[in-house]
Structure 1
């Protein structure tokens, strides 16, 4: 009787499709699996920051990968400007696919999520700012393969963290000023005067 070797059969049947976004150096690798709990995100601006993220560590070992971002059911990878996506996208996609199909954890130990969760100690203004970011801005930014999280508020100035595809994106400054700043000024007149991006 013939036996079949099942050791190489994938644990999960993983499908990945690619989505472009406003940052030409970033690409969104969307999977059919939920990778990260709702509302959480993990941004790795370099290999050192990915100590608790085995998949991100492996992606940084691939040539031209400069940043990795996890959220929901997708991974956003940012490449260097020296290459075009068409040259490396299949290698990145196949690496993510085989890693996930083996059922390996993409996060281990004390990985800390980024988010805009409201704390009891927050002032009323900060609670309102976080609520607006969460309800009106986060979904649009996620669509583009990135994330935004509250950093600080002081005397009318809101600082936010732009992550994933938003970090280093040519259009992120326009989004920040024309979109986010205008919305917060309109919804919180007298409380918000300016919005700035805090780099990670």
Structure 2
């Protein structure tokens, strides 16, 4: 098995591409307690310097402590953990349940349009950088759309530029009801 690595715009996140599907539903782990839901995430959090793990559709993003070990020290043990997981054939998640429907039946027309744009245009673009953006809420009174950044996008120095120059402009163009886009921390 050959696993490629790619840098991301966030210098503290590295993207690992195992050349196969990783997760049907992108999943973010921000601490060791959450990582207990996955043998791979748990193994990665046991490595010195790992502070976050994100499973994308076909990649694993690992976040390191900015004051911890350098990537040159961390890469080999991370690659070994990822390889062990996929070679073993074990499930990625423990007690995998069904994911909630991202497109709720009670969504307004505007919210459904926002979610469709996120899924078709925004999420594929940020996935290339090892991250994900999720719908959080839309206030139909003020036009404020709030989004949740995950993976390499969370804490990335360029995430506010991505939101303002990219996502906000796209949303305002296609969904005139959107007046502003903000990030939920």
TM-score range, shorter chain: over 0.9
Instruction: Give, in angstroms, the shift of residue 113 of structure 1.
Output: 4.8
2:34 maps to what in 1? 49
1:149 maps to what in 2? 134
1:8 maps to what in 2? none
CA deviation map 1:43-100 (0-9, x unaligned): 0011111231111011101000000000112100000112321121111111211222
What are the ranges of 5 or more consecutive residues in structure 1 without an aligned counterpart? 1-13
1:170 maps to what in 2? 157
2:89 maps to what in 1? 103
Secondary structure at the counterpart of residue 121 of structure 1: coil
What are the ranges of 5 or more consecutive residues in structure 2 without an aligned counterpart? none
Off by >4 Å, runs of 4+ in structure 1: 110-115
- Residues in 2 aligned to 1:111 and 1:57: alpha-carbon distance in whole angstroms: 18
- Residues in 2 aligned to 1:60 and 1:46: alpha-carbon distance in whole angstroms: 8
TM-score of the pair, normalised by structure 2: 0.92
**Alignment length (residue pairs):** 182
**Which of 94, 103, 109 is equivalent to 1:118?**
103
Secondary structure at the counterpart of residue 180 of structure 1: helix
Instruction: Give, in angstroms, the shift of residue 182 of structure 1.
Output: 1.1
CA RMSD of aligned residues (A): 1.6
1:72 maps to what in 2? 57
- Residues in 2 aligned to 1:62 and 1:114: alpha-carbon distance in whole angstroms: 31
2:77 maps to what in 1? 91
Instruction: Give, in angstroms, the shift of residue 159 of structure 1.
Output: 0.9
- Greater C-alpha Rg: 1
1:187 maps to what in 2? 174
TM-score of the pair, normalised by structure 1: 0.86
